[in-house]
């Protein structure tokens, strides 16, 4: 592993990759998901079975021992996943990915349960409202409601980690930003896996990773931005009509420590680098971990790909480090 600074206040860590299993996973996704997303980009208004895609998650096995409790938020459901051996150091607010179109209860349940078990933390997973029927602003509002629910239930913000992958990485950042703007205390930390951080397609399409990504065809990037903007214009809610904001363009100065993980070959790699630079510009403690030759949100394959398992271990180490720092601060104040 190589380490070198990205900018003052941030550091970059480069990890090797390219194991046989990682390459096979990339081949499978490049042969299946990427062509399908290419078709979607040509016909985004077709009646795609977005809700049905979530049921694919029923095929995924979940390690025994964790338990799930349903939670009702003002405009959506959520589920609280409790680990078999809780350590009570942190509670995680998990915001799933899926391009703002898919996800919900089943597709990410294995990943959520894995984080609950690995971290020894309860995880509140928000089934936020999504495109095409709701705007991204509605998604953010639901995630802020999830954070507010945890705080009102008696959990200190300093004990909450907001975590998300892909679109959920965007939501983890925007939830933190908007919660702070609404006067709420910042969480302990943010973990963003392969996050979308800039709605502008230019930085992504102008980079070499626009052709090396195993999941997203280049044509899908501007289509997603256009569909998100169209949903915003159609929205009848105050939150939904709010302008689309990119985390890289926001005031980031009050954010807590942030861990960003990305693959060196994925479409949103330029977003991850830009985000780390912007966080550093604002004086925010940030670590950018770049994993060579992995797929988008490769952490989801932690059960089969060695690099994915190591990435999850790095996330656990980051969260444990936040808890240790908080304990030291308490001792100093005692």
Catalytic residues: 166, 266, 296
Could you tell me the CA-to-CA distances from 26 to 263, 293, 322 in Å, in that order?
A: 12, 9, 33
Could you tell me the CA-to-CA distances from 228 to 40, 44, 45, 121, 244 in Å, in that order?
A: 14, 11, 12, 33, 8
User: What is the spatial distance between Cα 119 and Cα 242, in angstroms, rounded to a whole number?
Assistant: 35
Could you tell me the CA-to-CA distances from 179 to 145, 162, 182, 235 in Å, in that order?
A: 9, 11, 5, 21
User: What is the spatial distance between Cα 256 and Cα 188, in angstroms, rounded to a whole number?
Assistant: 6
CA–CA–CA angle 233, 236, 237 (5° rounding): 105
Q: Would you call the peptide bond into 132 cis, given omega within 30 degrees of 0 as the criterion?
A: yes
């Amino acid at each position: 592993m190589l380490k070198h600074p990205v900018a003052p206040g941030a550091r970059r860590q480069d990890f090797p990759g390219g194991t046989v299993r990682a390459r096979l996973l990339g081949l499978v996704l490049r042969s299946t998901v990427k062509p399908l997303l290419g078709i979607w980009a040509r016909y985004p208004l077709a009646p795609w079975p977005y809700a049905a895609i979530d049921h694919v998650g029923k095929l995924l096995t979940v390690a025994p021992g964790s338990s799930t409790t349903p939670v009702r938020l003002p405009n959506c459901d959520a589920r609280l996943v409790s680990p078999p051996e809780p350590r009570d150091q942190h509670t995680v607010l998990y915001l799933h990915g899926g391009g703002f179109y898919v996800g919900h209860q089943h597709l990410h349940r294995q990943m959520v349960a894995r984080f609950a078990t690995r971290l020894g933390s309860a995880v509140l997973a928000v089934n936020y409202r999504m495109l095409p029927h709701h705007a991204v602003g509605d998604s953010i509002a639901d995630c802020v409601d999830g954070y507010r629910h945890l705080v009102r239930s008696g959990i200190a913000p300093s004990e909450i980690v907001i975590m998300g992958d892909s679109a959920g990485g965007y939501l983890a950042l925007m939830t933190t930003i908007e919660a702070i703007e609404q006067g709420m205390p910042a969480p302990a930390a943010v973990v963003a896996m392969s996050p979308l951080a800039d709605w502008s397609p230019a930085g992504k399409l102008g980079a070499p990773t626009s052709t090396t990504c195993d999941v997203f065809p280049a044509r899908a990037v501007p289509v997603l931005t256009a569909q998100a903007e169209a949903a915003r214009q159609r929205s009848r809610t105050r939150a939904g009509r709010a302008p689309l904001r990119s985390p890289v363009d926001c005031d980031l100065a009050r954010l807590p420590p942030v861990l960003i993980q990305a693959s060196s070959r994925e479409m949103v790699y330029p977003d991850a680098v830009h985000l780390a630079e912007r966080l550093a510009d604002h004086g925010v403690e940030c670590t950018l971990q770049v994993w060579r030759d992995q797929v988008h949100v490769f952490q989801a394959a932690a059960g089969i790909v060695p690099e994915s398992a190591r990435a999850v271990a790095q996330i656990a180490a980051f969260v444990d480090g936040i808890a240790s720092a908080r304990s030291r601060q308490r001792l100093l104040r005692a």
